[in-house]
């Protein structure tokens, strides 16, 4: 397991994307089966192990380490797995194969798991203990996406990443048929029906960049605030995949039942009540469910707004120009009122489109998509054919209230920030953000937290309500689950307002007035 531990450490502290790919490819090239397959599954989130909870780990360390010492150490380190790995009292440093650790977590019963974990931790050195605990909790946090992992596989000299992604959903760890295929063997047989096909992504743009393009060579459509999906009916086998290839069919049985067409379509998953498109907050209540109640199906019905046809009635359309695919899309019969085509916008100049973008007909719309009429459907993010022009983010000035230590390479910094707005004479928490700032700004924020702490709650510090943060966010919904009554979407710190007194931060009623 030492090579796996080294890989995790290097990935966590390597920011460059291409360097991460080289590290992973070297590991996959040099590591024997089945260890490399289990490592790959762990990094892509596809390794299903018996759940090891924080409370279980806290119980184990409580039997070995003084409680006050552990509390102080955890407060300093900020990451439970890393704290246990460092403080665990053992001088051993065996090199346990990764597949043995996986087998322990898969085969040990619930009652025997604490003793088995303790025995294994006693045999490992600190770096391996950290790798094992990350494996056990499923908390990798090394900055490597599932797509990047599949790109590293493609770099090994076998099939291209698009073909690997098409069969990925049909594979199970440790992926021996996949590695055999990469080495020149046969394509895995279990990928014949309802394959995932990589989606085509867009690049951000703005009005200044658009002025260099000919508007007559492009079409535009609304960018809906749902989640991008592939919907497939392949010979009666129906699947719904997220854009990263996750099979989310079980969470949306109502939409699966409505897939009464023959083909593969690219679209936006939404909650639809008749003609009304609901907010992303409503859709979020349907996501990540293994089962859906009848009440939820009735109150939050799923729908699909189709952007493009990839496979239609047995014909692969991806090499056709968008204009031809769009004509077929507009004429398509999807066989259900839950599914329709995303409408094309009527514009002549980029200023016309800017006016439409500035005043969309529905608050669920988060901008416009712009696509070349002659563009083929190409997997990945080719630069040039498709653009997204999102609406300007909403912004409020909020007061920093709490800070929590980060994880991985941020474990030495307070990097997760909770902020609030004024409600009368009180500050009410309205959100949490952990990105948007530069490395230098992170150091400045961390310094402020340490110098202005008023209370501590484990890894969390309360701070003097003096620092104002400009917080940008993409959407806002009313929410009964939050004390403030609102929920932000994708909040981020866009600026530190060292110049602004906390008394001049925004008020809760200002934020609520932004709800569409």
- 3-49 residue pLDDT tens: 999 999 999 889 899 999 999 999 999 999 999 999 999 999 889 88
For residues 244 and 193, what is the distance between their CA atoms, to the nearest angstrom?
Answer: 18
Residue 302 placed within a domain: yes
DSSP state of 200: B
Query: Is the confidence at residue 254, as pLDDT, over 90?
Result: yes
Least confident of 85-99, 268-282, 404-418: 404-418
pLDDT reported for residue 408: 64
For residues 148 and 126, what is the distance between their CA atoms, to the nearest angstrom?
Answer: 28
Residue 432 placed within a domain: yes
Query: Is the confidence at residue 135, as pLDDT, over 60?
Result: yes
| Per-chain mean pLDDT for the chain | 92
DSSP-H helix ranges across 398-469: 439-451
Same domain for 385 and 446?
Answer: no
Same domain for 458 and 500?
Answer: yes
CB 487 within 8 A of CB 477: yes
pLDDT reported for residue 190: 62
Least confident of 99-103, 138-142, 305-309: 138-142
Residue that finishes a domain, picked among 120, 137, 154:
137
CA gyration radius, the chain? 25
CB 142 within 8 A of CB 79: no
For residues 511 and 508, what is the distance between their CA atoms, to the nearest angstrom?
Answer: 5
For residues 502 and 463, what is the distance between their CA atoms, to the nearest angstrom?
Answer: 13
Q: 371, 392, 373: which is closest to 382 by C-alpha?
A: 371
Of 20, 48, 110, 223, catalytic? 223
Same domain for 417 and 277?
Answer: no
Residue that finishes a domain, picked among 390, 415, 441:
390
Question: How would residue 218 be classed by pLDDT, with cut points 50, 70 and 90?
Answer: very high
DSSP state of 484: T
Same domain for 258 and 404?
Answer: no
pLDDT single digits (tens) 371-396: 999 999 998 888 899 999 998 888 99
| Number of separate domains in the chain | 3
Assign residue 14 the CATH number of its domain: 1.10.3260.10
Same domain for 324 and 411?
Answer: no
Q: What is the mean pLDDT of residues 344-369?
A: 94
Same domain for 7 and 58?
Answer: yes
Same domain for 270 and 344?
Answer: yes
Domain housing 354: 203-390
Least confident of 48-57, 209-218, 419-428: 48-57
Query: Is the confidence at residue 173, as pLDDT, over 80?
Result: yes
pLDDT single digits (tens) 446-485: 999 999 999 988 778 999 999 999 999 988 888 877 889 8
pLDDT reported for residue 141: 80
For residues 177 and 187, what is the distance between their CA atoms, to the nearest angstrom?
Answer: 8
Same domain for 209 and 245?
Answer: yes
Tally Cβ neighbours within 10 Å of residue 334: 21
For residue 403, list its beta bridge partners.
417, 461
pLDDT reported for residue 191: 57
Question: How would residue 166 be classed by pLDDT, with cut points 50, 70 and 90?
Answer: confident
Residue 371 placed within a domain: yes
Residues 6+ away with beta carbon under 8 Å from 121: 60, 84, 88, 90, 129, 132
Q: Which two tokens stand for residue 156?
A: 């090994």
Least confident of 162-166, 288-292, 323-327, 407-411: 407-411
- Is 223 an active-site residue? yes
pLDDT single digits (tens) 399-422: 999 999 887 667 678 999 999 999
Residue 222 placed within a domain: yes
pTM above 0.95, yes or no: no
Query: Is the confidence at residue 196, as pLDDT, over 90?
Result: no
Residues 6+ away with beta carbon under 8 Å from 22: none
């Amino acid at each position: 397991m030492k090579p796996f531990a080294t890989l995790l450490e290097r990935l966590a502290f390597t920011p460059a994307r291409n360097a991460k790919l080289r590290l992973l490819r070297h590991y996959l090239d040099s590591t024997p089966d089945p260890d490399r397959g289990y490592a790959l599954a762990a990094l892509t989130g596809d390794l299903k192990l018996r759940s090891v909870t924080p409370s279980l780990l806290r119980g184990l360390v409580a039997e070995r380490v003084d409680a006050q010492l552990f509390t102080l150490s955890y407060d300093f380190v900020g990451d439970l797995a890393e704290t246990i790995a460092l403080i665990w009292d053992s001088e051993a440093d065996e090199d346990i194969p990764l597949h043995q650790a996986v087998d322990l977590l898969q085969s040990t019963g619930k009652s025997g798991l604490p003793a088995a974990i303790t025995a294994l931790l006693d045999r490992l050195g600190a770096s391996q203990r950290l790798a094992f605990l990350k494996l056990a909790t499923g908390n990798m946090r090394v900055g490597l996406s599932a797509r990047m992992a599949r790109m590293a596989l493609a770099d090994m000299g076998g099939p291209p990443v698009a073909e690997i992604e098409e069969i990925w959903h049909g594979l199970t760890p440790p992926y021996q048929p996949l590695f055999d295929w990469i080495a020149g063997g046969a394509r895995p047989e279990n990928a014949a029906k309802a394959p995932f096909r990589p989606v085509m992504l867009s690049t951000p743009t703005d009005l200044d960049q658009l002025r260099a393009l000919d508007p007559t060579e492009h079409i535009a459509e609304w960018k809906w605030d749902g989640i991008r999906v592939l919907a497939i009916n392949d010979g009666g086998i129906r699947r719904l995949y997220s854009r990263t290839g996750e099979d989310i069919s079980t969470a949306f049985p109502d939409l699966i039942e409505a897939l009464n067409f023959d083909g593969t379509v690219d679209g936006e998953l939404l909650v639809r009540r008749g003609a009304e498109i609901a907010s992303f907050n409503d859709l979020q209540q349907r996501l990540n469910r293994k089962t859906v109640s009848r009440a939820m199906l009735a109150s939050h019905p799923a729908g699909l707004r189709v952007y493009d046809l990839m496979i239609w009635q047995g014909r692969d359309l991806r090499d056709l120009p968008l204009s031809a695919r769009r004509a077929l899309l507009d004429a398509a019969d999807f066989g259900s009122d839950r599914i329709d085509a995303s409408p094309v916008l009527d514009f002549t100049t980029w200023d016309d489109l800017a006016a439409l973008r500035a005043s969309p007909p529905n608050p669920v719309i988060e901008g416009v998509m712009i696509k070349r009429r002659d563009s083929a459907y190409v997997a990945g993010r080719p630069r040039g054919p498709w653009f997204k022009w999102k609406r300007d983010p909403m912004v409020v000035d909020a007061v920093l209230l709490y800070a929590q230590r980060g994880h991985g390479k941020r474990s030495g910094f307070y990097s997760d920030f909770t902020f609030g707005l004024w409600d009368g004479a009180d500050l009410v928490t309205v959100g949490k953000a952990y990105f948007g700032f530069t490395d230098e700004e992170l150091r400045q924020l961390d310094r402020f937290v340490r110098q202005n702490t008023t209370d501590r709650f484990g890894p969390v510090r309360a701070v003097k309500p003096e620092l104002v943060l400009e917080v940008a966010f993409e959407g806002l919904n009313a929410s009964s689950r939050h004390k403030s009554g609102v929920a932000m979407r994708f909040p981020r710190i866009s600026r530190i307002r060292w110049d602004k007194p906390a008394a001049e931060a925004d008020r809760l009623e200002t934020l609520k007035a932004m709800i569409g």
